[in-house]
């Protein structure tokens, strides 16, 4: 047991003690370290996901700790590091700058017009690079201590440094990606580390052998071409096709087993909540009609574990700045914390 409070009562009232779910773990005693990354610099539609980690933390004390998949999962020790205020402040600064670039491009004007915004773009890309390096260091430190790591965004650009850290430990791993979007754009709007470019950047990591994307329903021609030219390194499961198969009588179990069959033994789960039906997280950055039910995704994750594969890490991103979104986000985090192995 990785708990340093022997009289802790998991059935008691959730204690607001600064830690997620009110658990009594600290960094040293915890098996799972959760790192919050309050960053949404390149947001191009709805804002607020930089405050997602705080919403998840606030809602987490309302989550009862009995989990059907792992009733005593809380005993592993789960610790969420302090939401870094300096990163949030940098996010606010650079997001204001990025908005100028996005507005210029939306008007159909080049960045080189007066005032020239190309130096601003360079500055933002450098800030993204520094964020990735910070997260890489935080994750590698925890991994080297034998701990598991989870990342909470922020927008979906944030886990790249974690992908890179896992690549130093695992020579071959796959990503199970829940999302309405493929996120395969090359430097979307000029931002090298855009939320729409996370999987494009992930595929630059040779240790990531497979990307299986589930729930796609808002995708560009270019991204479809990238998928088609990937030699099946990328396997897409489009939401409309999933629905057509279910309506035609296929079972979700059979579809889950097919999805999982493409993945290697070690699997990372990257969960953008806009992959869900937007009623579940309506304040996410880029909501899209359609999508998965929450229990559908949990069923998929359970089947992944039952297949004998190992979940080596996860992220939960794009949770909006609202109480309900935080509630759903907290439950996703707790489920994945109890399935990680």
Q: Where are the domains of the chain?
A: 20-339
For residue 240, what pLDDT is reported? Answer: 98
For residues 341 and 181, the model is more confident at 181
Please give the average per-residue pLDDT across 141-170, as a whole number.
Answer: 98
Is-cis flag, bond preceding 278, omega within 30? Answer: no
- 156 annotated binding-site participant: yes
From the CA atom positions of the chain, what is the Rg in Å? 19
Mean pLDDT, rounded, for 145-151: 98
Q: Which residue would you say has higher pLDDT here, 47 or 329?
A: 329
Q: Say what the pTM is.
A: 0.96
181 is in an annotated binding site: yes
Arithmetic mean of pLDDT over the chain: 96
186 is in an annotated binding site: no
Q: What is the pLDDT of residues 275-289, one digit of tens each?
A: 999 999 999 999 999
| Residue 46 confidence (pLDDT) above 90 | no
The Cα angle at residue 316 between residues 295 and 147, in degrees rounded to 5: 110
In this predicted structure, the answer to whether residue 1 has a pLDDT above a threshold of 50 is: no
Determine whether the annotation assigns residue 4 to a binding site: no
Q: Is 86 annotated as a binding residue?
A: no
Rounded average pLDDT over 49-55: 97
Residue 231 marked as a ligand binder: no
Query: Mean of the pLDDT values across residues 201-212?
Result: 98
**Which segments within the chain are labelled E, that is strand?**
32-37, 78-80, 148-153, 173-178, 208-216, 234-238, 266-272, 310-317
Name the CATH superfamily housing domain 20-339. Answer: Ureohydrolase domain (3.40.800.10)
């Amino acid at each position: 047991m990785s708990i340093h409070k022997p009289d802790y009562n998991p059935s008691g009232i959730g204690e607001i003690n600064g830690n997620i779910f009110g658990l009594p773990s600290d960094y040293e005693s915890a098996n799972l370290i959760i790192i919050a990354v309050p960053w949404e610099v390149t947001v191009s539609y709805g804002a607020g996901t930089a405050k997602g980690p705080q919403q998840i933390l606030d809602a987490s004390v309302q989550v009862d700790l009995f989990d059907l998949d792992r009733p005593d999962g809380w005993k592993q020790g789960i610790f969420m590091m302090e939401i870094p205020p300096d990163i949030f402040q940098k996010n606010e600064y650079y997001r204001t700058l990025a908005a100028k670039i996005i507005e210029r491009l939306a008007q159909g004007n080049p960045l080189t017009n007066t005032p020239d915004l190309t130096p601003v773009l360079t500055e933002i890309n450098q800030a993204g690079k520094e964020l990735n390096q910070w997260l890489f260091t935080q994750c590698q430190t925890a991994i080297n201590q034998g701990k598991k790591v989870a990342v909470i965004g922020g927008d979906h650009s944030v886990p790249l440094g974690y992908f890179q850290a896992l690549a130093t430990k695992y020579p071959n791993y796959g990503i199970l990606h829940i999302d309405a979007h493929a996120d395969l754009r090359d430097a979307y709007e000029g931002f090298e580390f855009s939320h729409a470019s996370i999987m494009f950047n992930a595929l630059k990591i040779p240790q990531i052998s497979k990307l299986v994307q589930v729930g796609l329903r808002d995708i560009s021609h270019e991204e479809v071409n990238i998928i088609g030219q990937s030699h099946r390194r990328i396997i897409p499961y489009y939401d409309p096709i999933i629905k057509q198969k279910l309506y035609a009588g296929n079972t979700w179990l059979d579809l889950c087993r097919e999805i999982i069959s493409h993945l290697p033994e070690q699997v990372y789960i990257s969960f953008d909540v806009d992959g869900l039906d937007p009623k579940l997280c309506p304040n996410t950055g880029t909501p899209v009609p359609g999508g998965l039910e929450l229990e559908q995704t949990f069923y998929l994750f359970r089947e992944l574990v039952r297949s004998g594969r190992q979940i080596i890490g996860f992220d939960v991103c794009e949770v909006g700045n609202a109480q309900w979104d935080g509630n759903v986000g907290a439950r996703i985090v707790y489920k994945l914390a109890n399935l990680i192995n």
